[in-house]
Structure 1
Amino acid sequence: MPEMITNLVTRVARRRREPVAVQALRSTAAAVVSYSVALRLSDEPSPLTAPLTALLVVQVTLYSTLTTSVRRVNAVVVGVLIAIGFSALVGLTWWSLGLLILASLVVGHLVRVDEFVPEVAISAMLVLGVGQVTDTAWDRVLETVIGAVIGLLVNLLLAPPLWVGPAGAAITDLASRMSRLLDHLGEEAPGAEPQGPGRVAQAAARLHEARRLDNDIAQVDAALRQAEDSLRLNPRVKEGLLFRLVLRTGLDTLEICAVVLRVACRTLTDLARARPDGPLFDAGTTAALQQVLRHTAIAVESFAQLITAQVSANAEQAEARLAGELAVAREHRDRLADLLLAATRARPEHWQLHGALLAEIDRVLDELDVETRSQRLMEELDQHARNRPTDSLRGRLSTRLRAPRARTVSRGPRSPRGGSPPTGAEPSG
């Protein structure tokens, strides 16, 4: 019994530190405080506009709160001004109501209030529908301002949660899905059973699995955008730009790898359809391909651990593991290139598919390379540093990268048979 109580208390305490729980508490506090203040300052008996504004304003990040506050207040003021103008010219009839709504929606788009365009029409209708238009109008503006100000104060006094952890977890989960797909491709080796229509269906199933990664990338991108907003204007973060660049460039790399992986699945599907009755490769070629896929799968997971190092704090271990797995994968890739060359000489009709498969493997390995990641980070940092001096940030970034060329295992000469694509060209899908 005491152990159960201890576990329950631990789970509750952990929940209190989660971003969702923190956000719920902050929003509730802002709504209650804004309603209490509005009761004293507004003439309305139930000034619910103030807590409603506070709920909408207190977003998950301080940056979103500031931008939402401006748009929300702007929408209400514009709606009130439109209602005052209509009340001075016409009364409330069906045609004036329709004209009011149309004008409010059009003006809302013109003043760029984004998601609060309906709020312009709502404010105008609520104000026009009462008898004392002027008093009600300015009471609504006052309540909106109270809710926006209280929301900002709550975000300043109670620091918004950082969403770097959930974004890092989303990136890690995406890498795990890609790694599992690579493992499945290796387990279902192209030289093994089943053969015939069953093997074609199996390869097509993996192709659909690779295509589903696009939806996963979209979800991770949304989580990363939320994390990037939480780092902006946050007093608890000293190197927000560095964190944003590391996570964003890492996700870009995984997205490229997902696209190339989907193309590789298409290549294997085409090979299965081209050879429905016999093995795609001999036993040696199949074993080499399995090893390449297996070590690439481990490298993808290590890359995800590396780019989320500010969350997991295992950067050096992940980088060493990544470099080692890439080196082993390249060794098996070179052996696979020799075996595919021999197979192409025996059956030249599939040389294009063999070359495409090697090129796709090369592209994934090159994208995951530590040197490529460091170069991409420095390019992004240079782009952000054009408008402001960030020499100290660049120095910290260079120190954190720790000259990866010195620690990266030598790649050795690349086999000329693989036809590795240029590193500057990205696949289009």
Structure 2
Amino acid sequence: MHLPAAFSPTRLRTSSRVPLVQVVKTSVATVAAWFVAMLVLPSELPIFAAIAALLVVQPSVNQSFGKAVERSVGVIAGVVIASLIGLLFSGQTWVILLAIVVSIFFGWVFRLGPGSANQIPISAMLVLAIGAATPGYALDRIIETLIGAALGVIVNILIVPPVALGPAERDVNLLAGELSNTLERLATALTSPQTQQQLDSLMIQARLLRPMRESAAASVKQGEESLTLNPRRSAHRTRLEAVTHLLDRFTPVVNRVIGMTRAFHDHYDSSLIDEPALQSIATELRRAAHDLLLLVSPIPEETEADAPAPDTHVPALTAPLRITRPHPEHWLLIGSLMEDLRRIREEIVGD
């Protein structure tokens, strides 16, 4: 029997595993929360503490802190709502449903995040269903949750606080490599006849720079978040500043390169091959492609085939070009290429 695609077992799995260190930290935090809560509140099994610790250990310290606050707020709000409704409608069989509905609307009214909004009705339901006949049950569950949340944060800080700068550096390097490749392709196109299919392909490849830039920006943002509240921040601040600075420099270059490609695509005609200025512009584009790669750390081995390696560590850019008057039909394109090339050069040399 064939299962529908919606029920495919592959939907239960991810393409990559959670880092082993995070699994270990989650286990340590859960076990620690269980035993600490048992010492503080020996009368009940510390389910709330274990759940809180389990959920609070996140890929970054900042996310762990946010999850701890989110979880604590949800439990406290749910316990308070359940206690108030229990006092008003004591003994009624439908009070649990009422508490759930009120909790859902409470999260909606205050625009709470999914974590807190879902936790409120769960806590309210558990308090009314399990602890209605147990004095002090609601207060104990709040204390228990705070213990689990606090231990989740503490464990995430003490055991190898996560630093996610590797993906940021990798994605910025990949962006630099693709920028270099795009400049090389444009330089080749300027000096050889082009078909419409080749022009379209050139434009499509240039447009792919934008999603690459967005991916790099997302990785840099995750790197910044991983260092927020992280005791290892000072040791990695220089790396973060370097990769952020490079992304800031590459962002306008992405726009310039796409603009140059679009101008060439839209204004191309077969007589452009006779313009002597394009040969000089193509040479400068290749030099710019070379020097872009000098700005980044070495490309990882698995991506070396995708990006040309610079031949030397000496910058290849020269002084600004002097262009003789082009054909009247081509001056707009050549002027546009020269202006964008000038601005790309300024980003590369840091002016």
TM-score of the pair, normalised by structure 1: 0.65
Q: CA RMSD in A?
A: 3.1
Q: Which residue of 2 aligns with 1:361?
A: 341
CA contact (8 A) 2:203 2:265 kept: yes
Deviations 1:11-41 (A, max 9, x none): xxxxxxx993322322232223323444553
Corresponding position of 2:149: 148
Aligned residue for 2:272, secondary structure, equals coil
Superposition pairs for residues 183-198 of structure 1, below 5 Å? 183-187=184-188, 189-194=189-194
Alpha-carbon distance between aligned partners in 2 of 1:55 and 1:180, rounded to the nearest angstrom: 45
Q: Distance in 1 between matches of 2:271 and 2:136?
A: 83
- 2:272 alignment partner in structure 1: 280
Deviation at 1:269, TM superposition (A): 0.8
Match of 2:128 in 1: 128
Q: Deviations over 1:162-181 (max 9, x none)?
A: 22223212211221122222
Tell me the residue number matched to 2:288. 296
Shift of 1:115: 4.7
Cα distance between partner residues in 2 of 1:161 and 1:98: 37
**Residue from 89, 103, 106 that aligns with 1:104:** 106
Given that 1:75 and 1:108 are in contact with CA atoms closer than 8 Å, whether structure 2 keeps it comes out as no
Which whole-Å deviations, capped at 9, do the CAs of 1:152-194 have from their partners, x for residues lacking one? 221232131222223212211221122222222233x234234
Contact 1:26 1:154 in 2 (8 A): yes
Measured in 1, the distance between the counterparts of 2:96 and 2:121 equals 15
Q: Against the structure 1 CA distance between its residues 38 and 236, is the aligned structure 2 distance closer, same or farther, given a 3 Å change threshold?
A: same
Match of 1:178 in 2: 179
Is there any run of 5+ residues in structure 2 with no aligned partner, and where? 1-16, 299-309
* Residue of structure 1 equivalent to 2:317: 329
Distance in structure 2 (CA, Å) of the matches to 1:226 and 1:136: 39
Q: Which amino acid aligns with 1:354?
A: I
Matched residues in 1 for 2:295 and 2:284: separation? 16
Distance 1:216 1:271 in 2: 26
Number of aligned residue pairs: 319
Which residue number in structure 1 is paired with residue 10 of structure 2? none
Once residues 348 and 283 of structure 1 are traced to their aligned partners in structure 2, the CA distance between those partners, rounded to angstroms, is 11
Counterpart code for 1:119? Q
> Corresponding residue for 2:160?
159
Aligned match for 1:348, one of 328, 337, 343: 328
Q: Is the 8 A contact 1:264 1:357 kept in 2?
A: yes
Q: Deviations over 1:312-360 (max 9, x none)?
A: xxxxxx9x93xx43xx3334x61xx52xx33x2xx21332222111111
In structure 2, the CA distance between the partners of 1:283 and 1:154, relative to structure 1 (3 Å rule), is: same
> Whole-Å Cα distance in 2 between the matches of residues 137 and 222 of structure 1?
41
Native 8 Å contact 2:96 2:128 kept in 1: no
Kept after mapping to 1: 8 A contact 2:191/2:282? no
Report the Cα distance in structure 1 between the residues aligned to 2:330 and 2:279, rounded to whole angstroms: 19
Cα pair distance change 1:367/1:116, threshold 3 Å: farther
d(CA) in 2 for partners of 1:69, 1:99 = 24
Match of 1:74 in 2: 73
Deviations 1:191-213 (A, max 9, x none): 4234xxxx233223222222222
Written as runs of structure 1 = structure 2, the 5 A alignment for 1:242-261 is 242-261=238-257
Whole-Å separation in 1 of the counterparts to 2:217 and 2:251: 10
**In structure 2, do the counterparts of structure 1 residues 145 and 93 end up closer, same or farther at CA, with 3 Å as the change threshold?**
closer
- Partners of 1:267 and 1:353 within 8 A in 2: yes
Query: What secondary structure sits across from 1:234 in the alignment?
Result: coil
Which residue in the other structure is 1:392 paired with?
none
Q: Return the letter of the residue paired with 1:103.
A: F
Work out which of the residue numbers 211, 214, 232 in structure 2 matches 1:215.
211
Q: Does 1:119 align with 2:116?
A: no
- Contact (CA 8 Å) 2:62, 2:226: kept in 1 or not? yes
Indicate the SS of the match to 2:331: helix
| Offset, 1:283 | 7.0
Counterpart residue number, 2:258: 262
SS for the counterpart of 2:160 is coil
What TM-score results when the alignment is normalised by the length of structure 2? 0.78
- Supply the distance in 2 between the matched residues of 1:42 and 1:100 (Cα, whole angstroms): 31
Write the distance in 1 (CA, Å) between the matches of 2:272 and 2:74: 64
Amino acid in structure 2 at the alignment position of 1:207: M
Which ranges in structure 1 are unaligned for 5 or more consecutive residues?
A: 1-17, 307-317, 373-429
Match of 2:297, SS? helix
SS in 1 for 2:74: helix
Distance in 2 between residues matched to 1:173 and 1:130, nearest whole Å: 55
- For the Cα contact (< 8 Å) 2:190–2:282, is it kept in 1? no
Q: Which residue pairs with 1:83 in the alignment?
A: 82
